[in-house]
Structure 1
Amino acid sequence: MQVNPYIHYNGNCEEAFNFYVQAIGAKIDVLMHVEGSPAAEHMPPEMANKVLHAQLSIDGEVVMASDAPPEFFKTPQGFSISLNMEDPAEGEKTFQALADGGAIRMPFAATFWSKGFGMCVDKFGIPWMINCGQ
């Protein structure tokens, strides 16, 4: 069994995935638009250029996503995508890249459980935690 987060974006999934490629070295594995898919006939015309399904790899781990139709989108809450890293310097660099244009909930710093930990929400509204274990 494999568990993967599936994120619904507010019409900016492709922009977010391209940001993750630049900011943290992620790799886009799949990016399908509504237009040209069998789903197109069931979606409103304004969804044509939106993402039907996407898959991103972050150091071999998979995150999937799509654009939600506007009437179904809800602001993400109650979860965070957690990246666990060995090197605190790399952790802080990743944290700062994800926080750029977003909001810092807990600045990146050493804690009693970690050589470095921080919480942020990226500019697309997705919550992240970066943790560098002891």
Structure 2
Amino acid sequence: MAKEDVPQESWFLMGRTHTREKGTPVLVSWTGTMFEYLMPSLWMRTSSDSLIDRSRAAAVRLQREYGAEKKIPWGISESAYFKTDEAGNYQYHAFGLPALALREPDFDALVISPYSSFLALSVDPVEALANLRVMDREGWFGTYG
């Protein structure tokens, strides 16, 4: 569709799993990551008040609520994390919200990716900036991130 090889109407004929969160229909992604909901809009236009637009907003809202519930900054997404292999290389994993994921999470690590807040600037700039300020106060920003 992005290359215009097929008509845009094809998008609306594809089957996509969705759920309802507080009455709002939300598309379900593979792992429920911020990356899956927000990265595509860096490359593709999103029509306002479309299912995709509402899903992006709901994903950010649910991430914020989850962070508040856990008393941590929000922004769960795929990222490297503090586990290394035999060679000392940090591991990478797709962390997400179970409520938004097709796939069951395979472990319970609570990993926040600061880049998720930068992606969320396009959806909720006030809350994204507030979240980044919390991370800054906590000393999360430095030479390596």
Q: Normalising by structure 2, what TM-score?
A: 0.25
Structure with the higher fraction of residues in strand conformation: 1
Q: Normalising by structure 1, what TM-score?
A: 0.26
Structure with the higher fraction of residues in helix conformation: 2
